Amino acid sequence: MYKVRTFNPAEALLGLPSPAGFPIWWNGGSILGMLLGLQILTGLFLSMHYTADMTNTFASVIHIIRDIPGGWLFRNVHANGASLFFAFLYLHIGRGLYYQSYITQPRTWMVGVTIYFLSMATAFVGYVLPWGQMSFWGATVITNLISAIPYIGPSAVEWVWGGFSVGQSTLNRFFSLHFILPFLIGGMSGLHLLFLHEKGSTNPLGGMHHVSKVPFHPYFTWKDFVGFLMVVMMLLILGFFYPFILGDPENFNEASSMVTPVHIQPEWYFLFAYAILRCIPNKLGGVVALVASIVVLYFLPFSATQKMTPSSFTPLYQLVFWNLVMVFIILTWLGACPIEEPYITLAVPMTIFYFLFYLILISMPSVWAKLIS
């Protein structure tokens, strides 16, 4: 008698052969999954008391903080959880760039970049919902960039706004999108894991052989659990002691179309792209550069074939990677600076270096293959 075995997803996940040499940088994916679940859970409870009515929206947020039992904690955890999510997302992308995961796992990388795009969209529409001054004017400035699209731009902006300016229709649409998009991110994360487990995870040396591999459980489940505790501790410290350290003071004022903030800027995780946008005097050129700063990640897997060995430990690759990290940090700082000299002039070479380093990363694997052949 033959016994029919059924597929057990939990058994397949926990018994997944994993390289024994996983460093701490491989915890990023599981931490991001935990943060995503926490954001969905806290967002669900906040939506029960949130009012998407521009005359009462700001008051409803104050009501959540002051009157709802534990509402202040849910709100602080949700707001700071978004910042931690992007912090670990950038670390996760940086780890993929450093170890050239886009060569060994191209489909996983492509889905991951799509998750990055969806996360940026979710964070942007969510930033508008408290209806503070910076939220309102940030939405006005960013959505107005759509008008740079030739021919259809002005009509597309009015369609997004649902009128001639950011208003009630815009708020309703952004609230609906902010509620739906995280579930789409969850679905894409499942596809991300599916492609990852199709070949298995790599180790820092880029090897994917089944030699010296151990089951995922209990070796790495406990390691992930320790990572969860550390992140939750960070989140609680922010929520209890420094709830507004990553926010903008302008959002303590209710949105007003009659008063423009002195310095309009997005959240810190968008500042690098914002610096690229505003350093280009042409509006359409700035929008193209803004989109290209993210889209460039899609081109990395096409830089090499599947049979190539990652060259991440070569001195040239190390030099390019760490210079790219430095440029990213400088652009983030410049995005928070006022629109005046010398910050505008300094952003121009940093933008050129940003795209130049990515161009080098894209061309390097092919060049390296020719050198060693």
Residue 217 annotated to the active site? no
From 213, 217, 223, 283, the catalytic residue: 223
Q: Mark out the alpha helices in 25-167 (DSSP H runs).
A: 28-47, 57-66, 71-98, 101-104, 106-128, 133-143, 153-161
Tokens 């940088």 -> residue? 25
Residue 224 annotated to the active site? yes
Do the beta carbons of residue 42 and residue 48 sit within 8 Å? no
192 is in an annotated binding site: yes
Distances (CA, A) of 222 to 28, 34, 225, 339: 14, 14, 5, 47
From 60, 119, 267, 312, the catalytic residue: 267
Instruction: From 113, 112, 104, 110, select the one nearest 305 (Cα to Cα).
Output: 104
Instruction: From 120, 54, 98, select the one nearest 293 (Cα to Cα).
Output: 120
β-strand partners of 132: 254
The pair of structure tokens assigned to 67 is 């009157």
Radius of gyration of the chain (CA): 22
Residue 223 annotated to the active site? yes
49 is in an annotated binding site: no
From 60, 201, 303, 312, the catalytic residue: 201
78 is in an annotated binding site: yes
217 is in an annotated binding site: no
Q: Going by C-beta distance under 8 Å and a sequence separation of 6 or more, which residues neighbour residue 355?
A: 292, 293, 296
Instruction: From 182, 180, 175, 171, select the one nearest 85 (Cα to Cα).
Output: 182
From 60, 119, 135, 224, the catalytic residue: 224
From 63, 197, 217, 283, the catalytic residue: 197
> Can you tell me the distance from the alpha carbon of 252 to that of 134, in angstroms, rounded to the nearest whole number?
9
Identify the helix (H) or strand (E) that includes residue 17.
strand 17-19
210 is in an annotated binding site: no
CB half-sphere exposure, 140, CA atoms < 13 A: 19
Residue 340 annotated to the active site? no
Residue 49 annotated to the active site? no
Q: What is the largest CA-CA distance in the chain?
A: 81
Q: Which residues are annotated as a binding site for a ubiquinone?
A: 197
User: Which residues are part of a known binding site for heme b?
Assistant: 78, 92, 178, 192
Residues known to be catalytic: 197, 201, 223-224, 267
Binding residue numbers? 78, 92, 178, 192, 197
